Structure 1
């Protein structure tokens, strides 16, 4: 018989569930939206959100009463970013974003998904089309294909998409929407051909046309090469999304 979690542990689990509701495009959520997403009674969601606001992990807009991620989470994340090399890599990522005028993302492999762990937005020409989904299928995304193509377990696999990535050095995906989006990704490969992650960009396909792709991909490759030695744990191994969350 499995022991039920103690009330204190259950409250922590629920608070984590509330925080996880904010994954994605930095949304602002009402209390009822939070309760629905977290699967909690409104009274419980209110009690947890107020505790998280007092702790600085959430903040409440005085104009709309909506909740959003607080500065306290950024302060807690900074040591993990530094330890995993993302803080050192950030200047290169922001320089690339400014140079190509498109948001640059870093994704890592997590089970069957590519999970975005860092984004660098350009100072101009930003639009919401440039923000990838926080979690994408490895087999149905440019970032996922870039990760799989150079994964030791997949190098010998017969797959036309992965063969194309290995041949051209980048992955491309057309996301079919009312305004189609094109996504590009290059692998971040360190010493010993170890894959540390994928560097990706996306924008409206009308803008990210074949001419711009030819200009953007070389800049992405250069940036990936520069940050590859930085994206390591203290023991030199490539990191995963699971490790990023645990830090």
Structure 2
């Protein structure tokens, strides 16, 4: 007899299918069945069966020439109501205008538990490179996007930077140490009731995003954040009070 708290086979299959879908949260647009199995922590045979079921349901697609899987159009269709609730249909034109103006990809993130999760990206028509794409899920404690949110939190969580300084200058900055270092910048999106609803961020090679460009980019980011704030809606995350938002 199965344990009382053990999920039924149908529920277990759904949980595993979700595990497979979550494998596409990263930067890789296409994955092989073996890569999916490794990321999901499932046997290859189980992963193949689940992936094929997801293909039949339109949630995944399989490239006939490589047999690799990618997110299907059906998943985008299911996501549309959530994007509409966030107000991203109205927000998108402002983000694309900003991206075109500063020639850097613009990302919007919201709080999800202890992480900042990217919910939208607007790429520029020129000067795009992969350095401009942030990780889809970032730590609140150690990233510019997270610091832009935490600096205005009533809890004032401890981070690796001086959050009072972030509050004072109005934006967060992070140097991502890689072979080709990357600079990330983020500003808060402040809603009608002076609550921080999310963060608007950009990143690029630090050799390009130098002090001079930062001085030009940050004001444009602040203006864009102010324009999208009344249009942007969140369904979760902490509420940041007016008192906590006021600059010193």
Q: Does 1:190 align with 2:186?
A: no
Deviations 1:20-65 (A, max 9, x none): 0000224211111111111111111111111111111110112211
Q: Does 1:239 align with 2:235?
A: yes
- Tell whether the 8 Å contact from 2:182 to 2:206 is kept in structure 1 after alignment: yes
TM-score (norm 2): 0.90
Q: What's the counterpart of residue 201 of structure 1?
A: 202
**What is the deviation of 1:80?**
0.9
Q: What's the counterpart of residue 14 of structure 2?
A: 12
Q: Does 1:70 align with 2:76?
A: no
Q: What's the counterpart of residue 227 of structure 2?
A: 226
**What is the deviation of 1:83?**
1.4
| Cα distance in structure 1, aligned partners of 2:159 and 2:8 | 49
TM-score (norm 1): 0.90
- Tell whether the 8 Å contact from 2:142 to 2:159 is kept in structure 1 after alignment: no
**What is the deviation of 1:240?**
2.9
The 1:158/1:7 distance shift into structure 2, 3 A limit, reads closer
| Cα distance in structure 2, aligned partners of 1:213 and 1:197 | 20
- Tell whether the 8 Å contact from 1:115 to 1:241 is kept in structure 2 after alignment: no
DSSP-derived class of the 2:25 partner: coil
Gaps of 5+ in 2: 239-248
Gaps of 5+ in 1: 233-237, 243-247
| Cα distance in structure 2, aligned partners of 1:159 and 1:191 | 30
Q: What's the counterpart of residue 41 of structure 1?
A: 43
- Tell whether the 8 Å contact from 1:26 to 1:69 is kept in structure 2 after alignment: no
Alignment of 1:82-231 (within 5 A): 82-154=84-156, 161-231=162-232
| Cα distance in structure 2, aligned partners of 1:241 and 1:54 | 34
DSSP-derived class of the 1:105 partner: strand
Alignment of 1:21-36 (within 5 A): 21-36=23-38
